[in-house]
Homo-oligomer: A and B are copies of this chain.
């Protein structure tokens, strides 16, 4: 029997809804918050009181527009605390410090040598990025209430494995162990697909939608799946590996070692493969990764490029139709640098291929476009996930007890956040 949510889980979810509504709307009265979240006025009042006590909500004046007496307008108190979002990618690590209003206050990138073999060197790069971001944001480690780390590839409760980056396979768990004690707050991890799902729920196309799919297009491709307003993680925390579903039985070799994967057609190496089929000697084939994609964007009038984009759009539309057929989402949004650079060029033909391919009605009301969140989507998603975990009852109670004195750092052992694959040691 599936366990029904306990009252404390419901309260945690409601608290998150209130914070999210205030962050996104900027300011709101209690009545407006009740309207937006669907919570009762009493529940809103209780939770707002609790969040004011914890330092996350402050007054922003009064609203005397109505006929009754003036009501208090609320806002998030950005000074209530800071959160770190870290985007660990194959070629770089980016750390971003956000205040409690989820406003970026400091960020730093550190490149990672693609040929690296040492966990230590990646750990060092990550911690250097964190230190730089804190310095640029003017925050001390003790200001950080939580850290969210987006890790490439597949994560599991066994902390092993990745498809997209085979070299990392044995290292993800060791990397986590290495950095955890040196990070300035409790750590929560997720894969980048799940991270962008969280970004989209807070700030993007999934806002206010029950079901949404965020499709990431880059070197690797994958999907963040949102069902009933929550990011789907899956039984072994690997949901969303759409990039390695089959587009063509026994088709092109994929870098995962299998054949015919979606990624081998719409990932960057796949698009290069298509251009090489169209024109094996094309000059753009000298370029790699982002430069290659930007080269395509700047040459859409070139016939081989146009043909490559037409084929890619068809592959993309068909591959997207598989998600639509199975999940029938309200909205689907493309993110990642291929989507940002080539979305306009690909979407018209992709929409046609999707509509032709998707079973009747499954795409009838589908809203498909490029994500409005085009900067720091992984780091933002991980920071808001860390924020959500911090807002859970136990963490908040600990915090309330420790105020107004200085926060002890590192904090005592934390309970496992429900969405983290690993126990979080303080």
Q: Could you tell me the distance between the alpha carbons of A227 and B211 in the complex, rounded to whole angstroms?
A: 12
Asked if A373 CB lies within 8 Å of chain B CBs, one says: no
CB within 8 Å for A161 and B360 given contacts A4-B38, A36-B1, A326-B323: yes
Within the complex, which residue of B5, B163, B357 is in contact with A246, where a contact is CB–CB below 8 Å?
Answer: B357
CB within 8 Å for A4 and B37 given contacts A238-B361, A327-B232: yes
Of the listed stretches A81-89, A116-124, A202-210, name the one at the interface; the rest are far from the partner chain: A202-210
Contact A14 B10 (CB under 8 A): no
Q: Which residue of B lies closest to A248 (CB)?
A: B249
CB within 8 Å for A228 and B228 given contacts A235-B330, A326-B241, A365-B236: yes
CB within 8 Å for A2 and B241 given contacts A163-B359, A323-B326: no
Which residues of A (361-389) have their CB < 8 Å from a CB of B?
361-362, 364-366
Contact A245 B327 (CB under 8 A): no
Asked if A349 CB lies within 8 Å of chain B CBs, one says: no
Contact B4 A39 (CB under 8 A): yes
Contact B3 A245 (CB under 8 A): no
Q: Which residue of B lies closest to A208 (CB)?
A: B1
Contact B156 A235 (CB under 8 A): no
Which residues of A (1-28) have their CB < 8 Å from a CB of B?
1-7, 10, 13-14, 17, 20-21, 24
Kindly report how many copies of this chain are found in the complex they form together.
Answer: 2
Q: How far is the CB of A56 from chain B (nearest CB, A)?
A: 17
Q: Which residues of B contact A232 (CB under 8 A)?
A: 227, 327-328
Q: Which residue of B lies closest to A356 (CB)?
A: B258
Asked if A189 CB lies within 8 Å of chain B CBs, one says: no
1/0 contact trace for A216-231 toward B, CB 8 Å? 0000000101011110
Contact B361 A328 (CB under 8 A): no
Within the complex, which residue of B2, B38, B234 is in contact with A229, where a contact is CB–CB below 8 Å?
Answer: B2
Q: Could you tell me the distance between the alpha carbons of A323 and B232 in the complex, rounded to whole angstroms?
A: 14
Q: Could you tell me the distance between the alpha carbons of A104 and B241 in the complex, rounded to whole angstroms?
A: 41
Asked if A244 CB lies within 8 Å of chain B CBs, one says: yes
Asked if A318 CB lies within 8 Å of chain B CBs, one says: yes
Q: Which residues of B contact A294 (CB under 8 A)?
A: none
Q: How far is the CB of A19 from chain B (nearest CB, A)?
A: 11
Most B CB within 10 A of own CB, among A5, A230, A233: A5
Contact B322 A246 (CB under 8 A): yes
Q: Which residues of B contact A325 (CB under 8 A)?
A: 241-242, 244-245
Contact A37 B1 (CB under 8 A): yes
1/0 contact trace for A234-264 toward B, CB 8 Å? 1111111110111111010000101000000
Q: Which residue of B lies closest to A33 (CB)?
A: B1
Asked if A160 CB lies within 8 Å of chain B CBs, one says: yes
Beyond A225-B326, A326-B326, 9 additional pairs, beta carbon < 8 A? A2-B209, A3-B37, A6-B40, A163-B359, A232-B327, A236-B361, A240-B326, A246-B247, A246-B318
What are 17 A-B pairs at a CB distance below 8 A?
Answer: A1-B24, A2-B208, A2-B228, A4-B13, A4-B17, A154-B359, A154-B361, A154-B362, A235-B328, A235-B329, A235-B366, A236-B361, A238-B359, A245-B326, A246-B318, A249-B251, A258-B357
